[in-house]
Amino acid sequence: MTGAAAGTPRHALVTGASRGIGLMVAERLLQQGCKVTLMGRSSSSLQKATEQLAALGDVAYVTGDIVEGAVVKAAFAQARERFGPIEILVNNAGQAISERFDRLTEDGWHQMLAVNLTGTFHCIQAAMPDMLAAKWGRIVNVASTAGLQGYAYVSAYCAAKHGVVGLTRSLALEVARKGITVNAVCPGYTETDLVREALDNIMQKTGMSLDEAKAKLAEGNPQGRLVQPAEVADAIAWLCQPGASAVNGQSIPVDGGEVMVG
């Protein structure tokens, strides 16, 4: 995927990129010809991911916690120095906690908003000037089906992801005539480390086996299975392509048909 300057590869930055969906997104974007910066908090995990992807193209990493605005700006500046302006941003970093609402602490509430919503805000603000200058950009926010409907025991997570969907829709209108699209991808239960934590929680509380716990999570998916990270990454990579320029402000479920938005 190349930019306006003849043959110049576009620079994509992916947060939460050392594993799971983020790692698969980075792989897909490299395969599409982008230069890719991975961002996360663990330098050792990012180094390992960078080495894993190196054969596919130009890839590097920056470290930083998306909760801290100043840290995000510094990390994006570092990425820009290496690969140039950021024209594609995939906000994949996220976190979930499960707790009954009356036991949810204020700290837990603020943590969910900070990581899942405010972190997305910080990253978009850090990348937006490059996209406005280029008159081209792709922003894809990895929300969740929890941003489209409610789930018991994850009220703070659902509130934050609903916020991501609202931010996506609002910002898409602001930049619609500036060559920038803003969309959200909303995975259902996906076989990632985040869901493995949920499986561990189910097994601990119910005594279910791993297969039984997986089946429990997959009940809501009409296909009767967990979504795979590569399936989510394929949807995200498509939204980043020039051919997806008419898709804007959408929240696309990748969930086997669990949520139907019409």
pLDDT of residue 82: 97
3-class DSSP assignment, residue 182: strand
pLDDT of residue 215: 79
Catalytic residue (choose from 151, 153, 157, 189): 157
Indicate the burial class of 104 (C-beta count within 10 angstroms; 0-12, 13-18, 19 or more). middle
- Give this prediction's pTM: 0.92
pLDDT of residue 4: 57
Residue-wise pLDDT for 191-201, tens only, equals: 877 777 767 77
Cα–chain center distance at 58:
21
Task: List the strands of the sheet with 11-15, edge to edge.
Answer: 59-63, 35-40, 11-15, 88-91, 137-142, 180-187, 251-254
Indicate the burial class of 146 (C-beta count within 10 angstroms; 0-12, 13-18, 19 or more). buried
Percentage of the chain beyond pLDDT 70 is: 97
| The two three-digit tokens of residue 149, written as one number | 């409907």
Cα–chain center distance at 175:
20
Q: Are strands 180-187 and 137-142 parallel, antiparallel or unpaired?
A: parallel
Residue-wise pLDDT for 138-173, tens only, equals: 999 999 999 999 999 899 999 999 999 999 999 999
pLDDT of 6 higher than 70: no
Phi, psi of 222 (to 5 degrees): -55, -25
Alpha helices in 94-137 (DSSP H): 106-113, 119-134
Domain ranges of the chain: 11-188+228-254, 191-226
Active site residue 157: yes
**Class for domain 11-188+228-254, per CATH?**
alpha beta
pLDDT of residue 210: 79
pLDDT of 261 higher than 80: no
Dist CA 84 CA 46 (whole Å):
20
pLDDT of 43 higher than 90: yes
